[in-house]
Every structure is written in C-alpha cells, then in structure tokens.
C-alpha cells in the first residue's frame, strides 16, 4: 500500500465483461481476461483479488485458470487476495485453510476472504495456518451489499454481531503487537455509510488492514471512504473490480484506470 497506493483491483471475469472485451465465456476467454489484468497491473498495484466464483463457474478448467492466475501474480511480485468467502466448522474449515493458505498448495494465495457467520472462533484453523505460513485473511465484518445489515447490525447479548468480528480481529493482531499492521484484516464495504460509527466499532484499534469493496461500480468514491473510515483511513485498502476492468482490454487503459483509482483513493485516505 505504501509503494503502490491503497487500491486493490478485483479480477472478476463477469460474462458481460468478457463480451465487452471481445472474449468468449469459456475457460480460454477467462484465461485471456485474467492474465491480461495480471500482465497490465502486476508489479504496479498493492494487490490483485481474483473472485473465485467466476472461475468456479467453469468447473475444473476454470479452477486450473485460477491456479495459473495466482502463479502469474506471484511471478509478477504482486500480492493476491483470493476472494472465496469461506467459512465452515472444525476439520472442514481446516480443509479450506489447507487449500488456500498452505505453502505449495495449488490455490495458495497471500490472503483469502473468510465468512465468520458460523462464529468467529470457527475460523481458527485458517487463522492459525495463515499465521504459521506468513499469510493473511480478511474477515467479513460489514459487507457492501444492502442485505448484510440484517445479520451484521443485529445486536446480540455480547453486542452488535459485527463488533464480535472487530474484536476477534483485534485480539488476533494483538498477539504480535510489534507488527505495524497485523495480518488479520476486515472487510468493511465503502458503501456502509455511518454503520461502523453507529455500531461503536473501533476499526483503527484492530491494527489490521481494512478491505473496502464497493468503490466504483457499487457507487462509493472518495467521499464515502472518508465518511465510512474516519480515523481508520490509513488502514484502508480500497477495492474495485468493474471500476478498473471496464477500461480493458488495453493494458495502457487498464493502467490509466488504476492510476485514477489510486489518485482518488490516496487523496481521500491520506
């Protein structure tokens, strides 16, 4: 984030984007799309975030492309956040952790997104494996979609549900109090308005990165970033997919779109 600016670009090969790029909705179209993004932006962006769903919809051939994309980003020296939003119990969670966070796993990424709605503690196998292999996780706290608040804003005996995720991330990052930024981040959508403040969430105190999707196609921009994050803004990694991808397939146009996204996010989050 210090080197390239506080922006993560999502690799979301929607069928409609493939068509706009003149590609077929097939594993080969997917491959050309995703590798074009890595070639254009690799080494120039804080992180790339492949959206697993758009690879999974092509079955095993799509997963093979995802493996190739993760490897290409690694070769380009760019961190990957694999957006899989996994969450399960016990040994099943351990299986997911092994799939994405183990050294040498075919789908290993630098970080993954996790859904904690089976209970924050159910994520333990992923938290532990990420710590031992030097990887990271982003735990969904306040998601960018309008339906999320029914669950995430609900107030349980222990306080708002989202606060349990914030407290959980904080406790994990406190284990290594010397690290400038911990490896357990949260997902807080740039579209959530005053929710973090209203629910009394101290995002800055988590000392973790805050992945902020919703920038661009979902309508959030610099003003929303300032409003949502306040004094936690230096931890924010603003995330946009279609907002940059729509500029493709030209590499220079993708780079220009990244440049604009970085200028606007960096000015807001300074």
Ligand X SMILES: O=C(O)c1cc(=O)[nH]c(=O)n1[C@@H]1O[C@H](COP(=O)(O)O)[C@@H](O)[C@H]1O
Listed ranges 61-69, 117-125, 149-157, 209-217: which one lies at the site for ligand X (CB under 6 A): 209-217
SS3 call for 97: helix
What number of other Cβ atoms are within 10 A of residue 3's Cβ?
7
Residue 204 Cβ vs ligand X, minimum distance, rounded to whole Å? 20
Residue 82 Cβ vs ligand X, minimum distance, rounded to whole Å? 10
DSSP tag of 51? B
Site string for ligand X, 228-257 (x = CB under 6 A): -----------xxxxx--------------
Total residues interacting with ligand X, rule: CB under 6 A:
19
User: Pick the catalytic residue: 14, 44, 74, 85?
Assistant: 85
Answer yes or no whether residue 264 interacts with ligand X by CB under 6 A.
Answer: no
**In the chain, how long is the greatest CA-to-CA distance?**
53
Question: Based on CB atoms, which residue is closest to ligand X, 129 or 140?
Answer: 140
Per the annotation, the verdict on 85 as an active-site residue is yes
Tell me which residues in 76-95 interact with ligand X (CB under 6 A).
83
Tell me which residues in 38-57 interact with ligand X (CB under 6 A).
51
Burial of 211 (0-12, 13-18, 19+ CB in 10 A): buried
SS3 string of 220-254?
A: ECHHHHHHHHHHHHHHEEEEECHHHHCCCCCHHHH
Rule CB under 6 A: choose which of 30, 187, 203, 220 binds ligand X.
187
Site string for ligand X, 133-172 (x = CB under 6 A): ----------xx----------------------------
Rule CB under 6 A: choose which of 36, 113, 183, 264 binds ligand X.
113
The C-alpha atoms of residue 109 and residue 83 are separated, in whole angstroms, by: 10
The C-alpha atoms of residue 11 and residue 209 are separated, in whole angstroms, by: 20
* Residue 112 CA to its chain's centroid (Å): 7
Query: Phi/psi of residue 70, each to 5°?
Result: -60, -40
User: Catalytic residues, which ones?
Assistant: 85
Site residues (CB under 6 A) for ligand X? 10, 12, 51, 83, 113, 143-144, 187, 189, 213-214, 216-218, 239-243
């Amino acid at each position: 984030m210090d080197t390239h600016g506080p922006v993560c670009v999502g690799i979301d090969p929607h069928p409609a984007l493939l068509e706009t790029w003149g590609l077929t909705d097939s594993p080969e179209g997917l491959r050309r799309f995703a590798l074009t993004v890595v070639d254009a932006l690799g080494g120039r962006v804080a992180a790339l975030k492949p959206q697993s769903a758009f690879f999974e919809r092509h079955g095993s051939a799509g997963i093979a492309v995802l493996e190739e994309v993760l490897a290409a980003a690694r070769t380009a020296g760019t961190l990957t956040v694999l957006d899989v939003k996994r969450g399960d119990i016990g040994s099943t969670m351990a299986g997911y952790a092994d799939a994405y966070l183990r050294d040498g796993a075919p789908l290993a990424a630098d970080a993954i997104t996790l859904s904690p709605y089976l209970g924050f503690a159910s994520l333990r196998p992923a938290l532990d494996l990420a710590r031992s292999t030097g990887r990271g996780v982003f735990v969904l706290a306040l998601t960018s979609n309008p339906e999320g608040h029914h669950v995430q804003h609900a107030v349980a005996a222990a306080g708002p549900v989202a606060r349990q995720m914030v407290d959980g991330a904080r406790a994990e990052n406190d284990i290594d109090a010397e690290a400038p930024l911990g490896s357990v981040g949260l997902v807080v959508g740039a579209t959530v308005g005053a929710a973090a403040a209203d629910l009394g969430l101290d995002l800055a105190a988590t000392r973790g990165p805050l992945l902020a999707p919703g920038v661009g196609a979902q309508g959030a921009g610099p003003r929303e970033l300032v409003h949502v994050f306040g004094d936690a803004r230096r931890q924010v990694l603003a995330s946009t997919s279609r907002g940059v991808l729509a500029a493709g397939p030209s590499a220079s146009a993708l780079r220009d779109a990244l440049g604009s996204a970085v200028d606007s996010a960096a000015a807001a989050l300074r």
